[in-house]
Amino acid sequence: MLGLKARDSASQERIRDILDGRDKSLGYWVALALHGLILLTAIAFAVSTVPELPEHARIILTWFERIAVAIFMFEYFLRIFAAKHPMHYIVSFWGIIDLLAWMPSLFMTAGGTVALRLLRLMQMVRILKVIRYSRALQRLSRAFVSVHAELALFYIIALFLIYISAVGIYFFEHEVQPEIFTSVPASLWWAIVTLTTVGYGDAIPVTLGGKLFTSLILFMGMGVFAVPAGVITSALVGHEIEDIEESLEKIESSAEEKAYRDRLRRSKSND
């Protein structure tokens, strides 16, 4: 029984390594195939929205979607089987993403336009699966996790600035343009596109006070929304340094181990 359990554990670990792309023989090819499948499903979904698409093309896309769903479903249950703690995986972020990669397609026949659109939108969650198989994206994900507190503080400040901007432009422009800046909630749209320096031009200030206020908001927007890029870049560089140090430690330890074995071999030969 103990031998069977050990063999079971080893096979489960091998499956995890293959699915996560760590296995030396099959990991790369499995990750590449899943990458390609995710990309093709995204392209297929975009093509399926073309109104004048021929009927035979829609049938091909439908069958391709069914095959992709079957593969994603098989991968999901295989991960549950191979997980050290299946329930931890099921309720984890990646477990939910893997579930949403195939489950919405099973309910695409649900009635109601809103429900159908929501299910179609949830299908696109499978694109996030790419992060699981990309080391660069994994490093970016680690960077986001390491600076999540700083980013949360930034977004709180950004929301506060958006609200203040909406209130300010409402007071400056409401009397002159009551049909555009009808209320503070309606002014939030102007605040968002102005702070992000997009400026669609559908709502612009005409008063002197409104223009001066807008100039101030634009300068603040350029400064405030550049902060996350710096924070994330710093975190990425920090993780890169950690990875390099870890690699150097491994190289040093392997070199020391090799030197020790050489000394041991020489001492035995001398004896």
> For every one of its 271 residues, what pLDDT tens digit does the chain have, with 9 covering 90 and above?
344 444 457 788 888 888 887 777 888 888 888 888 888 888 888 788 788 889 898 899 889 988 988 998 999 999 999 888 889 989 988 888 888 888 877 776 544 445 555 556 666 667 777 666 666 666 666 777 777 777 777 878 888 888 989 999 999 998 899 888 888 888 889 888 888 777 777 788 899 998 999 888 888 877 776 667 676 677 666 655 666 556 656 666 666 666 666 666 666 666 5
Nearest CA to 138 among 26, 240, 14, 34? 240
Buried b (16+ CB within 10 A) or exposed e, 218-228: eeebeebeeeb
Nearest CA to 181 among 196, 194, 193, 169? 169
- With 0-12 / 13-18 / 19 or more C-beta atoms within 10 angstroms meaning exposed / middle / buried, residue 20 is middle
2-133 topology per CATH = Four Helix Bundle (Hemerythrin (Met), subunit A) (1.20.120)
pTM higher than 0.85 for the full model?
Answer: no
Each residue of 262-271: pLDDT tens digit? Answer: 666 666 666 5
The CA-atom distances, in angstroms, between 185 and each of 181, 191, 199, 213, 223 are: 9, 10, 18, 18, 24
Kindly list the domain boundaries of the chain, sorted by start residue. 2-133, 134-271
> What is the chain's length?
271
Q: Let me know if the fold of 2-133 is the same as that of 134-271.
A: no
Using an 8 Å Cβ cutoff, are 168 and 218 in contact? no
Structural element, H or E, at residue 96: helix 93-100
Tokens for 167?
């209130």
Q: How far apart are CA 191 and CA 204, in angstroms?
A: 11
CATH number for the region 134-271 comes to 1.10.287.70
Each residue of 89-121: pLDDT tens digit? Answer: 899 888 888 888 888 777 765 444 455 555 566
